[in-house]
Amino acid sequence: MTRAGGGGGRGPRRGRGPPPPPDGTCRLRFGDGTAEDFDLVVGADGTWSRVRPALSPAVPRYTGVTFVETGFDHCDTRHPDLARLVGNGSMLVKGVGRSLVAQRNSNGHIRAYIALRVPEDWHTAAGVDLGDRRAVRTHLLRMFDGWDESLRYVLRNSDSGFVSRPLFVLPAPHTWQHVPGVTLLGDAAHLMPPVGLGANLAMLDGSDLAHALATEPGVDDAVRAYESIMLPRSIEAATGSAQGLDHLVPSTAP
């Protein structure tokens, strides 16, 4: 955020009062009642961005897919069979409406995701307390009944507890009319399923915005140039990511 020299502004603004003058700056009102004016506010604040409403009424929606995360420590010595399945990369096993994903991390750790097509409150509906590791294991093992025991090992023997991560996305395409003094990047601009694009796109957004600010004659010119590149790119990526999630957790037999 770059502080502006004058008062007034457009963008993320709360409370009553006269409308700000259209001078291309942005006024932020903070929780302690103070306010600051900036030449540019960049909403890089993720899924539940507080800046996004200044540009777009879009609200993230649940995809119908939840990842339940767990993990394995010292996998080569404590979980050698799983380590061999995962190898030096990752493992994906798909069924109808449920998949198992495991990836090797650093320091001998394997992170695993149990990917499920379930309601967002699946654990509440099932009467399962996510803090009760044994109860979660029992429920997940029932959901994967009939799967090979080498795969059910992921459910039965993890070292960490289980974290439910429902997946949300923004509408695709997600665009907005340009507003002076404010823009978005990363998940705040184009929240997509986690199929390998999100972090890369966020870094590319940041690079493109920085380049535009360094080369264009003014801040507003830079933001317009950045958005003209970022928005079309995000539309294409969002479409591909949605297809990727359907591939990762198929709703019909793979």
What is the CB-side half-sphere exposure of residue 116 using CA atoms within 13 A? 22
pLDDT at 175: 95
Residues of the chain with CATH 3.50.50.60: 2-60+170-248
Residue that is written with structure tokens 């003014």 in the block:
218
Question: Residues 6 or more apart from 38 whose CB is under 8 A from it?
Answer: 1, 2, 3, 4, 9, 25, 26, 27, 28, 181
pLDDT at 254: 61
pLDDT of 5 > 80? The answer is no
CA distances from 23 to 20, 37, 152 (A): 8, 11, 60
pLDDT at 128: 95
Quickly state the pLDDT bin for 229 (edges 50, 70, 90): very high
Spatial separation of the C-alpha atoms in residues 247 and 35, rounded to whole Å: 46
Q: What does the pLDDT look like over 47-85, one tens digit per residue?
A: 999 999 999 999 999 999 999 999 999 999 999 999 999
**Closest C-alpha to 216, from 40, 12, 33, 26:** 40
First to last CA, the chain: 47
CATH architecture of 2-60+170-248: 3-Layer(bba) Sandwich (3.50)
CB of 209 within 8 A of CB of 169?
Answer: no
Residues of the chain with CATH 3.30.9.30: 61-168
CB of 110 within 8 A of CB of 71?
Answer: yes
CATH architecture of 61-168: 2-Layer Sandwich (3.30)
Bigger pLDDT: 227 vs 236: 227
Quickly state the pLDDT bin for 6 (edges 50, 70, 90): very low
Q: Write down the pTM of the prediction.
A: 0.85
